[in-house]
Structure 1
Amino acid sequence: NTPTDCVGCHLDDFNATTDPDHEMAGFPMDCTECHDEGAWIPSSFDHNNIWPLNGAHASLSGECLSCHSEGYENTPTDCVGCHLDDFNATTDPDHELAGFPTDCTECHDEGAWIPSSFDHNNIWPLNGAHASLSGECLSCHSEGYENTPTDCVGCHLDDFNATTDPDHELAGFPMDCTECHDEGAWIPSSFDHNNIWPLNGAHAIISGDCLSCHSEGYENTPTDCVGCHLNDFNTTTDPDHELAGFPMDCTECHDEGAWIPSSFDHNNIWPFNGAHAIISGDCLSCHSEGYENTPTDCVGCHLDDFNATTDPDHQSAMFPTDCIQCHNEGAWIPSTFDHDAMYFPIYSGKHRDEWNTCMDCHFNTGNYALFSCIDCHEHNNQTQVDDDHSEVPGYQYESNACFMCHPNGEN
């Protein structure tokens, strides 16, 4: 009955070993787990092959019972199996009260239990007002640490719903809090409407009445005036914007001060003088074709007047269509043109009733500065005219020479 197991011969070695104390530590008596036949010392056992003794664990390498007080079978390999007392005794923050998960590796490493290796900023930075909550874990993790929301409204929905100036819920504000708030504080908001669309003039009065512009929500809010002021446009009657076909670019005639009075002054574009002042409210009289490319020369509006004039007949006489040569803004009739006073008497003196049309004297209808004195029936006989001027020094049978000597048509 000679024993075949090691301890049968090596029990004294087993009991006498103190580093570590096999008997006190309750080591199993299967010597082959830690020794081989080479020698009792050194042992062939290497704890690192089973569970490495790193960091603070290295200082316990000879204190086997610190981890194996219950024996060597089923020794826990998760941290909390040995460190549950540390977990429960921690108060800053209180792990048990806060319901921390018991996977210690999320916040600690083998260097030491304290300080923790956990840095909240690596997961979600505690900036601004959040920094004051750094030890109050339940303020954000009341439902646990899994699936904690990372969007602001996940924690601040009550703030959102309780806000009344302006009422976020009633106004249908989007729930992306970062659009209007930062981590400094919920109040005051970091939102400045002027950075998106300045609230100037009359708009400043409605700065808190969000729905006046955002009744359809906050996406794609129009930035052109008519997007909000179409009713003002359609109901304006002096002048009637819709009937007159006004363009819908309100900034051409209005500013943010008020819809009424309009900031538009027609005189800055085209002054209403004389007879034009009478039609200052009758926009279609000049803008019947719209407001783009409205003519600024007189004949653009007065061609019918030009063609209908018979005394003298402008069209037949082939008058130039530069109306300002003979008319002003006072009225079409009477004309400001006075042939007798300005050029040559044809309505008085010897030439009165001696002509029928302008072309009797003005042979070039493209240039009324040109005229003829020698083509009419009284002066077209050069022999007779030469005889009449035989004693006139420097006489010439030529129209300009005639005018030089007879500027009033008299002998």
Structure 2
Amino acid sequence: MKKLIYILLLLITPFAVFAQISPGDLSQAHEKLEGLSNCTQCHVLGEKVTNQKCLACHDEIQSLLASSEGYHASVEVKGKDCFACHSEHHGRSFQLIRLDQDSFNHDLTGYKLEGKHEAAKCADCHQMKNIKAPALKKKERTFLGLEQRCFSCHEDYHQKTLSADCASCHGFDSFKPTVKFDHQKTAFALKGKHEQVACEKCHERTAQNGKPFQHFSGLKFESCANCHKDVHENKFGPNCSSCHNENSFHQVAGMTNFNHQKTNFPLEGKHRQVSCRSCHQQSLTAPVAHAKCADCHRDYHRGQFTNETSKPDCSVCHDVTGFTTSSFTIEQHNQLKFKLEGAHLATPCFACHQKGIRWEFPQIGERCVDCHENIHRRKIAEEYMPQENCQLCHNVIEWRDVTFDHQKTGFTLTGKHTIINCRSCHFKEEGDIVEQHFSGLGKDCENCHQDPHREQFKVDGKTNCAKCHQSYAWKPSRFDHDQSRFQLEGQHAQTACVRCHPSLEDEEGTFTKYKLKADIKCADCHY
């Protein structure tokens, strides 16, 4: 009866009585349970706080105890009262969970910390982002909710392409190397040289789903060609092991009946007579450069055909039947800077390219004077033959066919001068001596022609032949007797020229006397 009265008094005066009964404020985690009406959610009247009351609310702990997992199921905790570690009524800021993180034995949780985990801080793993259970995610602070699977904390680098059991390959000390992985237990056991190959050679590093990724599963290895380039391009079939093995690619069996014609270099011409060791000096299987003749043969031309822009092979001019003849054609030569035309077509190669012991090809020159002597050097003025350019007058079809424009000299060729050979005026031969006359050659007729009149018409030291003659014919078509000192009148006009102008002889020969006395009288001719 007294007990009932006591309870009624508590209900009538809750605040005054609560202040006398409650030992202190609840922690922040339990503050919603403040008040006399909530006491029985944790307390049993007349008894201490029981574990059943705590576990009824904290079902995550109840679940771990039921399955004998976690720290609360360890020998250190199991059987203890909850309030022995998590007492209440010590104020709002009181921490219910009080662990010495530096000395806590994590082995008691059922998850032993090894390797890098042993050096990790509690907060490195116990983060809300690693908790999977939705109910626990709502808690502000808890050490529960973590799973023991690697992927619960670590990102799956292999993106579900390998087993979820990371520990089958990896250890706790380091993600790499994979100390537990044994390649010999896979479908592709490593043998010979494969044992020395870096993993990345076969397991390529790329990106997948925007993240770094290395391919380990799904690789093809049924054939050598899955990883290795078939340098023979299937000429010898897909079964590489018929000749090669994993110990060395260069250890080849069955060379007796080897068919070289199936390779990229079929043996032809002189090559059929060469022994294998002449080319395969290191070993019969070591790669031998063979793209160009110069890979095996000494360059007879000493790099004459090698420059920064063009490196032609010997096969441009020669073939496998021998080096002694050239297959370089006129058409090919005409693709070069110096085209073969006219008389050059009939010129043998050695005439230009073998002026000494050795053959010379590049840099032998492109101008006429590079091969031919310039017989006009210092004979013709630079203005008429700039830079010794012979082609301004001559051509490769006919050297004597000159196309020089004589008007440039100031002496235009007319009449008989147009058909006369250049040598007639510009070359003077005396026995074996030939002299050229171009520069300084006078324009007077006397420079080329002999004066048949014995200087009878010379005035002031010069004879003006053009006064009577012209270039179309030598006859004095321009002479007018009436313009002379003696005009022809009457019978004089009918008289033959020879009657007045007789032929005379001197030491040089016969000539006609035209110039008469200064004072012409009738008695000079008439007796």
Q: Which TM-score band applies after superposition, normalised by the shorter structure? A: 0.3 to 0.5
Relative to the length of structure 2, the TM-score reads 0.35
More helix by share: 1
Q: Which has the higher strand share?
A: 2
Greater gyration radius: 2
Structure showing greater relative contact order (alpha-carbon pairs closer than 8 Å, 6 or more residues apart): 1
